[in-house]
């Protein structure tokens, strides 16, 4: 897949409702990551599940990806990724995760980025998601999501629509 240019970035190209798993039974961070990575693999987004899992774990060791309020944004840039994608998982039972507020995590947004997209798309994805996550009203809506379609619509929303 060719990389995205600055002018044609569209988050809908990396989000798919099949990559959204609500109410996962994850016993810990590694289990949550495994489940989301398996989801990516099942939908053809990876060419090497184990290599991508190792890349994500390596990145996790580099610094915390828990951004507070029960949300984590782990990510991996890897040649084992076929198509830059987001996989999203939620759990009713918060799991221990290194976080800036030292609180457990219930919502995980996993970034899987190809080597070709590692500069442009990775930064634009992080920017889009970060702009949404600064709003408590957006995070409240994340917690209220009941279906994959609702999650998809929420993540596709315009950060300019929030103002709290």
CATH number at residue 22: 3.40.930.10
**Which residue is associated with the tokens 């890897």?**
78
Res 115 pLDDT > 90 = no
Res 55 pLDDT > 80 = yes
Q: What confidence tier does 163 reach under pLDDT thresholds 50, 70, 90? A: confident
User: Stretch 147-164: mean pLDDT, rounded?
Assistant: 90
Is 6 within the bounds of a domain? no
Counting the structural domains of the chain, the total is 1
Is 4 within the bounds of a domain? no
Contact 100, 73 (CB under 8 A): no
Res 90 pLDDT > 70 = yes
Is 161 within the bounds of a domain? no
Domain span at residue 112 reads 13-154
User: What is the predicted pLDDT for the residue at 82?
Assistant: 96
Is 149 within the bounds of a domain? yes
Res 101 pLDDT > 90 = yes
Is 75 within the bounds of a domain? yes
Is 123 within the bounds of a domain? yes
Q: What confidence tier does 92 reach under pLDDT thresholds 50, 70, 90? A: very high
Is 2 within the bounds of a domain? no
**Which residue is associated with the tokens 């409702």?**
17
The tokens for 23 are 């109410």
């Amino acid at each position: 897949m060719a990389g995205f240019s600055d002018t044609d970035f569209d988050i809908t190209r990396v989000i798919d409702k099949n990559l959204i798993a609500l109410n996962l039974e994850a016993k810990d961070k590694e289990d949550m990551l495994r489940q989301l990575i398996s989801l990516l693999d099942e939908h053809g987004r990876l060419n090497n599940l184990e290599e991508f899992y190792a890349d994500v774990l390596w990145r996790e060791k580099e610094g915390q990806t828990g951004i507070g309020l029960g949300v984590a944004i782990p990510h991996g840039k890897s040649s084992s990724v076929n198509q830059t994608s987001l996989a999203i998982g939620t759990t009713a039972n918060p799991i221990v995760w290194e976080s800036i507020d030292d609180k457990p995590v219930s919502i995980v947004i996993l970034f899987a980025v190809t080597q070709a997209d590692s500069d442009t798309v990775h930064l634009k994805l992080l920017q889009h998601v970060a702009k949404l996550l600064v709003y408590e009203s957006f995070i409240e809506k994340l917690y209220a999501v009941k279906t994959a379609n609702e999650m998809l619509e929420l993540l596709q929303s315009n950060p300019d629509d929030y103002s709290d």
